[in-house]
Amino acid sequence: MKKIFVTRKLLKENEEKLKELFDVKLNPDDKIYSAAEIIEGSKNFDGILSSVTDPINSETISKLSSSIKIIANGAVGFGNINIKAAREKGITVTNTPDVLTDATADIQILLLLGASRKAYEGRIAAETQSWKWSWDFLLGKQMSNKRLGILGMGRIGRAVAKRAKAFGMEIHYHNRSKLSSDLEDGAIYHKTIKDLFEQSEFLSLNCPATPETTKIVNKETLSYLKKNTVIGNAARGDIVDDDAMVEAIKNGTVFAYGLDVYNGEPKIHPEYLKLKNIFLLPHLGSATKRTRWDMAYRATKNLQDFFSGKKPQDQVN
């Protein structure tokens, strides 16, 4: 029976399924392992079921036991894993696309709404019971009939577009390549980030985390925006230059910022915590029971397929 090292605590049903199929080492205390602990803990194992929190960079991969043949990442992304290093060491990497698309798109809409309608400031006012209704009390921005720019028109970006249309929003997007007309579904393609940002009244960040997209939202690209743009980030923290974002919020380029992901999670840039026109969530994009079950099930299926001699459905390298 193949031996699988599981880096984070899963839902009970998922762990029971894994134990039926493999000899597994679980993490009952849900400790976040360091790279050294992953290397030591997975020694002489055949595979790893990892999480987006796991630092599996090139150095970590170089020190993994030669017995490790697959890393099944329980996430739509795989920015935490050095794909090139894994391929060179003969380790297959898989992810779990599709299953968290709807849950994450829901959160992205929540971020845009929460930021634009001053939900954080409203919560404080309600809790302190110090407010009174007035004509100009906590005036936000409506999403209705505005232009929504989507940076990254993959599965999640398209799901965000579908939801945004219910607000009567006009959809614009920038992607590595133009989509087919059926996938665009009426969205307007922009060849450059500059063109997209110049047209956006609301901006949804949905691009994956790659070396090319690190700090893709920075001082220069933020300068392309019109005043009072609302931004939501349910993708990855490292696609945003936090210092530049703080500056853009303070100077009025960004009306409000909603974010579910951070550089160095769970840490957060301290300047964000000093701002009122911000809406924060603790990486809840996939946090529904159904979605988390599906993610672990999909990762398990990838392991099962791999060790039965089939190519995993979600192989990324």
**What positions carry a catalytic annotation?**
236, 265, 283
Question: What is the spatial distance between Cα 215 and Cα 111, in angstroms, rounded to a whole number?
Answer: 20
CB count, 10 Å around CB of 222?
22
**Structure tokens given for 135:** 């004509």
User: Who's near 94: CB < 8 A, 6+ residues apart?
Assistant: 70, 71, 72, 73, 299, 302, 306, 312, 313, 314, 315, 316
- Radius of gyration in angstroms for the set of CA atoms belonging to the chain, rounded to a whole number: 21
Report phi then psi at 239, rounded to 5: -85, -5
Strand partners, 254: 229
User: Who's near 172: CB < 8 A, 6+ residues apart?
Assistant: 147, 148, 149, 150, 187, 188, 189, 190, 196, 199, 200
Report phi then psi at 217, rounded to 5: -95, 105
Nearest 10 degrees: Cα torsion 228, 232, 237, 240: -30
Cβ neighbourhood burial of 208 (10 Å; 0-12, 13-18, 19+): middle
Q: What is the per-residue DSSP string for 28-57?
A: TT-----HHHHHHHTTT-SEEEE-TT--B-
User: 250, 255, 246, 268: which is closest to 226 by C-alpha?
Assistant: 255
Helix (H) or strand (E) holding 205: strand 202-205
Helix (H) or strand (E) holding 117: none
